[in-house]
Amino acid sequence: MVLFKILGKKFVAIFLLIISIGIIGIISISGHKSKALTIMNEGENKESYIKYAEFNVPYEALEKAMNIDISSHEKEIKINWIDILSYLAAKYGGDFKKHYTSCDMDKVVSEINSGKNIEELSEKLKYYNYFNEVYNAVLGEFIGNYRIQTEKKDENDETIFEEKYGLKVFSPIAKTFPYQHYSDFGVSRTYGYSRPHLGHDMMTATGTPVIAIESGIVEVMGWNQYGGWRVGIRSFDKKRYYYYAHLRKDKPFHECLSEGKIIKAGDVIGYVGRTGYSSSENINNIKTSHLHVGLELIFDESQKECTNEIWIDLYDITRLLSKNQSEVIRIPETKQFYRKYDFKEANLELERE
């Protein structure tokens, strides 16, 4: 009986040690802790789609990686900004905000330019593929080839479009319209029930034109007691759902907007207001005029409306988008704003075929 008790205690100690090592292995990578990696590990043997994701890449890293991608576009060695950001995310255990340094990005770019490919560099980074899938879901259509209208005409008086490669998504606030914003993702909200703020607020005057960030299809438009008059637009690849809320009272939407319609990146979709926080339609219960813009990631259609939706912090992304603002013109007869320069991209042409 004594021997059994001794062996029993040793067995328990060994068992607890094994469990502890397992837990540490789940939450540690390169010495960093990551909730995303923990949840992903727990679900490895369940459904294959991603159920939790964070995106905390700071503006400085986004801008630097974007410029590297654009400047290498026509070079012999093309560097993909999502690949290098994913590599660094895997190295940092997902905690970009805490560990990012510019020299880390310089180092990986230098190694790629010296002949190594991203597969070789990331071979020992267990979670590279995970971060690459998440970051492609967020940024996959941000940079690419597009054509933008110019002021020039050809010999047949036809508009000339300029071919470009670069940022092809737009700021949600039209060009020349002032706004203020700060990092407010996760801040507490109490209307209806206590909950975190799962979007980004951009403070600007009522009537300011709201711009479609990315080309896509209007899935939702109408009233919601939390968001007031709001619009939901889904990207063509179905991975991103953009949510624009608290639009203007009485005339919240652009006159050309309708559910099911294809929208171009840079189009005017509505106007800033302060509607919402009411079960009755068309009520201004928001104290300050602002645009609430949200981005939901969807890896499986079951995630579209559920209790575990994946919304990401847009503060640093909107700072990047401010580099590409859509210029608008006002039509006096209708008092509606329209984009000044037309825009074309391959996704739009494929969707319309």
Which single residue is written with the structure tokens 């690849």? Answer: 237
Which is it for strands 159-167 and 262-263: parallel, antiparallel or unpaired?
Answer: unpaired
Which is it for strands 200-203 and 268-271: parallel, antiparallel or unpaired?
Answer: unpaired
Q: Report the pLDDT value the prediction gives residue 37, as an integer from 0 to 100.
A: 61
First to last CA, the chain: 80
Which is it for strands 228-235 and 216-224: parallel, antiparallel or unpaired?
Answer: antiparallel
Q: How many CA atoms lie within 13 A of 315 on its CB side?
A: 16
Q: Report the pLDDT value the prediction gives residue 151, as an integer from 0 to 100.
A: 94
Q: Report the pLDDT value the prediction gives residue 11, as an integer from 0 to 100.
A: 46
Q: Which CATH architecture has domain 180-352?
A: Distorted Sandwich (2.70)
Q: What is the pLDDT along the chain (353 residues), one digit of tens a residue?
A: 443 344 444 444 444 444 443 433 333 333 344 556 655 555 454 568 999 999 999 999 999 999 999 999 999 999 999 999 999 999 999 999 999 999 999 999 999 999 999 999 999 999 999 999 999 999 999 999 999 999 999 999 999 999 999 999 999 999 999 999 999 998 988 887 888 989 999 999 999 999 999 999 999 999 999 999 999 999 999 999 999 999 999 999 999 999 999 999 999 999 999 999 999 999 999 999 999 999 999 999 999 989 899 999 999 999 999 999 999 999 999 999 999 999 999 988 777 65
Nearest to 276 by CA among 286, 289, 266: 286
Query: Two tokens at 212?
Result: 């479609």
Q: Judge contact between 253 and 231, C-beta under 8 A.
A: yes
CA 266, CA 198: separation in Å to the nearest integer?
23
Q: Report the pLDDT value the prediction gives residue 348, as an integer from 0 to 100.
A: 85
CA 57, CA 95: separation in Å to the nearest integer?
8
Write down the pTM of the prediction.
0.87
Q: Report the pLDDT value the prediction gives residue 353, as an integer from 0 to 100.
A: 59
Q: According to CATH, where is 2.70.70.10 located in the chain? A: 180-352
Q: Report the pLDDT value the prediction gives residue 14, as an integer from 0 to 100.
A: 44
User: Please, which residues bridge with residue 284 across strands?
Assistant: 276
Phi first, then psi, for residue 147 (nearest 5°) are -125, 135
Q: Report the pLDDT value the prediction gives residue 291, as an integer from 0 to 100.
A: 98
Q: Report the pLDDT value the prediction gives residue 197, as an integer from 0 to 100.
A: 87
Q: Report the pLDDT value the prediction gives residue 16, as an integer from 0 to 100.
A: 44
CA 215, CA 217: separation in Å to the nearest integer?
7
Query: Two tokens at 189?
Result: 């909200």
User: Please, which residues bridge with residue 29 across strands?
Assistant: 32
| Secondary structure of the chain as H, E, C letters | CHHHHHHHHHHHHHHHHHHHHHHHHHHEECCEECHHHHHHHHCCCCCCCCCCCCCCCCHHHHHHHHHHHHHCCCCCCCCCHHHHHHHHHHHHCCCHHHHCCHHHHHHHHHHHHCCCCHHHHCCCCCCHHHHHHHHHHHHCCCEEEEEEEEEEECCCCCEEEEEEEEECCCCCECCCCCCEECCCCCCEECCCCCEECCCEEEECCCCCEEECCCCEEEEEEEEECCCEEEEEEEECCCCEEEEEECECCCCCECCCCCCCCEECCCCEEEEEECCECCCCCCCECCCCCEEEEEEEECCCHHHCCCCCCEECCCHHHHHHHCCCCCCEEEECCCCEEEECCCEECHHHHHHHC
Other CB atoms within 10 Å distance of the CB of residue 262: 15
